[in-house]
């Protein structure tokens, strides 16, 4: 555990010593706010809730989270620091988890910095703060899922751009698997149970449930399983690609 | 002497390519082992296996009696490693990097303080401790890389081309450091700089195409050179012809080469038959003939020569029988 924490701390501080953290946070806040006000017409709706704020998160994450995740392993492999890191007395699994946690905490910091939205909505009316808290948790879990997928893809390549594009595509598939287009694609040639299980894998479906304020155990299990499986695969890829 | 590293039948294959082919050797405490070989000969791969970065296809590696594949963490704790090119996190400062390494290696506060002070002093990096590593010169980066490898006082120090890219003064300092550190530890360095092997190594292993082709101390390696025990003579140009004739007539002299020729001065090299000692007879003959010479010396042999002899055959390269630095100068 201590090793994971040491690795995560180094990673997290690396975010803030480079411009990456600040660029990411500023863009994330600007987009999250802009979408809510202009597209979601938050003020015009006259409702004291943050539904239109959270509704755009999956789409924001679709390209912002791969931008955070793309460097996790591709950069290490490109610069050769992976050899330095993996010859320290730490297991590959600990590094995988440590790196992921650092990126996840970083995404959490960006998300937490949207707190003025929450203050505003409380000044304007009496929102259900329980629902808002649940939606924040759901949003952060979804970010975690996207991040774990991105980290996994990042371990496959030395090229950060390839990692970004592939991770975005993979996240898109996971996000949209509940949507009709993807569903009909599978329906044509797979059994109904498979189509249903693909739809269950949808980030959108799972996130929408949580953002309504209902934290179902199944949604938690879903996001944590995605993270767990992706990190497991991530570890295997790092191990397999070390010498290449 | 305790054996710190024991390698038996080590083989590493990448698909059809055999990078390391049945390599076996052991390293004792106090030894400085020079690992030499052409690029792509398997030096780095061997080092990567010993440090636990790569897993061997077959064979065993034991560090301090522990198997590297079964106790990777314990072994990584005992090893200090500088990977080739000294890759480091550019956005970190040397001090934060060293602190990170000490934390990962679970050094106590006391050990961390002592270790960092020691490494910083030995490698003269005190003045760059708070600058991002990416802004440092190549020499400083290399030294920071060395600092992180010695900060925990490892039993086994493995350095992949430690002096590559350093200026002559820095090279000298690193070599002094290696000599100083070798007492309680075992050190393995890989290098293509053969003078480095002569300067710091107590033993040299030559590897070519993944195979070990020699394992000896630098002096006995040198003695395998065709120039071993050859006698070099520097004399005025006017005397040269007489001297060459004399040497050609002398028993035990196999060949005479003119290595340097200027208007006033000539340098000759008399190669002996079977590398036997001929200095005494050459000296006597010179006196008898009354040839005036400025300098006479015995060639110990050139590692470069031996290196080429040993590795060309394995690499399947054509070799000019006269290829050596002397002939090309003549």
Per-residue model confidence as pLDDT tens digits over A70-102: 999 999 999 999 999 999 999 999 999 999 999
Mean pLDDT of chain B: 86
CATH number of B225-330: 3.30.70.120
Q: State the best of B53, B79, B96, B159 to mutate against chain A, taking most chain A CBs within 10 Å.
A: B53
- Please report residues of A whose CB lies closer than 8 A to that of B54: 242-243
Q: Which residues on adjacent β-strands are paired with residue A86? A: none
Distance CA A76, CA A71 (A): 8
- Residues B10-66 pLDDT 10s: 999 988 889 999 999 999 988 999 999 888 888 999 999 999 999 999 999 999 889
Domain boundaries, chain B: 3-222, 225-330
Residues of A with CB under 8 A from a CB of B: 3, 6-7, 10, 13-14, 17-18, 79-81, 83-84, 86-91, 242-243
With an 8 Å Cβ cutoff, are A18 and B91 in contact?
yes
- Per-residue pLDDT tens digits for A188-201: 777 777 777 766 66
**Residue B323 confidence (pLDDT) above 50:** no
Given CB atoms, is B134 within the 8 Å cutoff of chain A?
Answer: no
Query: Could you read off the pLDDT of A8-66 as tens digits, one per residue?
Result: 999 999 888 888 889 999 999 999 988 888 877 777 777 777 888 888 888 899 989 99
Q: Which residue, among B61, B24, B20, has the nearest Cα to B44 in the 3D structure?
A: B20
Q: Does residue A203 come out as left (phi exceeding 0), alpha (psi in the -120 to 50 range) or beta?
A: alpha
Spatial separation of the C-alpha atoms in residues A152 and B95, rounded to whole Å: 31
Q: Which of B103, B148, B159 to mutate to test the interface with A (most CBs of A within 10 A)?
A: B103
Q: Cβ-count burial of A125 within 10 angstroms (0-12 exposed, 13-18 middle, 19+ buried)?
A: exposed
Chain A residues with beta carbon closer than 8 angstroms to that of B132: 17
- Helix axis angle, A180-187 relative to A192-200, nearest 10°? 150
Specify the pLDDT at position A168.
93
Per-residue pLDDT of A115-147, as tens digits, reads 998 998 888 888 888 889 989 999 999 999 999
Q: What is the CATH number of domain B3-222?
A: 3.40.50.300
Q: How many structural domains is chain A composed of?
A: 1
Question: What pLDDT score does B329 carry?
Answer: 38
User: Which whole number is the average pLDDT over A220-242?
Assistant: 91
How does B59-85 read in b/e, with b if 16+ C-beta sit within 10 Å? Answer: bebbbbeeebeebbeebbbbbbbbbbb
Closest to A157 measured CA to CA, from A237, A85, A101: A237
Domain extent, residue A84, equals: 2-241
Q: What is the pLDDT of residues B288-299, one digit of tens each?
A: 888 888 899 888
Question: DSSP letters of A14-26?
Answer: HHHHSTHHHHHHH
> pLDDT grade, residue B120 (50/70/90)?
very high
Q: Which residue of A has its CA nearest to B97?
A: A10
| Burial class, A227, CB count within 10 angstroms (exposed 0-12 / middle 13-18 / buried 19+) | buried
């Amino acid at each position: 555990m201590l090793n994971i924490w040491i690795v995560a701390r180094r990673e997290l501080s690396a975010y803030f010593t480079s411009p990456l953290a600040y660029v990411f946070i500023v863009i994330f806040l600007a987009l999250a706010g802009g979408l809510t006000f202009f597209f979601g017409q938050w003020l015009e709706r006259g409702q004291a809730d943050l539904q239109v704020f959270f509704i755009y998160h999956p789409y924001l994450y679709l390209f912002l989270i791969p931008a955070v995740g793309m460097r996790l392993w591709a950069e290490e492999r490109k610069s050769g620091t992976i050899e330095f890191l993996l010859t320290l007395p730490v297991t590959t699994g600990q590094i995988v988890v440590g790196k992921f946690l650092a990126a996840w905490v970083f995404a959490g910091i960006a998300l937490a910095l949207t707190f003025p939205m929450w203050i505003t909505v409380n000044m304007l009316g009496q929102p259900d703060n329980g629902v808002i808290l649940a939606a924040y948790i759901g949003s952060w879990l979804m970010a975690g899922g996207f991040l774990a997928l991105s980290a996994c893809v990042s371990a496959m390549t030395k090229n950060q751009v390839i990692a970004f594009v592939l991770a975005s595509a993979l996240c898109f598939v996971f996000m949209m698997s509940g949507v009709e287009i993807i569903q009909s694609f599978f329906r044509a040639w797979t059994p109904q149970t498979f189509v249903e299980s693909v739809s269950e894998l949808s980030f959108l479906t799972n996130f929408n449930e949580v953002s309504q304020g209902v934290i179902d155990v199944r949604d938690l299990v879903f996001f944590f399983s995605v993270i767990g499986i992706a990190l497991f695969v991530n570890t295997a890829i790092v191990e397999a690609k070390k010498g290449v | 002497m305790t054996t710190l590293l024991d390698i038996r039948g080590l083989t590493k294959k990448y698909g059809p390519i055999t990078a390391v082919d049945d390599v076996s050797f052991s390293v004792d405490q106090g030894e400085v082992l020079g690992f030499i070989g052409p690029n792509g000969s398997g030096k780095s791969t061997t080092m990567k296996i010993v440090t636990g970065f790569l897993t061997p296809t077959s064979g065993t590696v034991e560090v301090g009696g522990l198997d590297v594949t079964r106790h990777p963490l314990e072994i990584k704790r005992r090893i200090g490693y500088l990977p080739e090119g000294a890759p480091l996190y550019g956005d970190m400062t040397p001090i934060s990097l060293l602190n990170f390494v000490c934390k990962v290696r679970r050094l106590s506060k006391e050990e961390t303080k002592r270790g960092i002070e020691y490494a910083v002093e030995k490698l003269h990096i005190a003045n760059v401790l708070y600058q991002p590593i990416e802004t440092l010169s190549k020499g400083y980066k290399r030294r920071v890389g060395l600092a992180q490898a010695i900060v925990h006082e490892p039993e086994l120090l493995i350095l992949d081309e430690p002096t590559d890219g350093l200026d002559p003064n820095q090279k000298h300092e690193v070599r002094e450091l290696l000599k100083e550190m070798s007492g309680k530890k075992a050190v393995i360095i890989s290098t293509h700089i053969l003078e480095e092997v002569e300067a710091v190594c107590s033993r040299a292993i030559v590897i070519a195409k993944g195979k070990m082709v020699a394992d000896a101390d630098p002096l006995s390696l040198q003695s395998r050179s065709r120039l071993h025990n050859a006698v070099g003579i520097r004399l005025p140009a006017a005397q040269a012809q007489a001297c060459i004739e004399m040497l050609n007539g002398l028993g035990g002299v196999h060949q005479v080469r003119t290595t340097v020729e200027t208007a006033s001065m000539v340098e000759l090299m008399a190669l002996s038959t079977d590398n036997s000692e001929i200095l005494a007879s050459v000296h006597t003959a010179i006196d008898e003939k009354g040839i005036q010479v400025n300098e006479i010396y015995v060639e110990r042999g050139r590692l470069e020569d031996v290196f080429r002899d040993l590795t060309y055959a394995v690499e399947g390269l054509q070799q000019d029988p006269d290829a050596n630095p002397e002939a090309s100068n003549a």
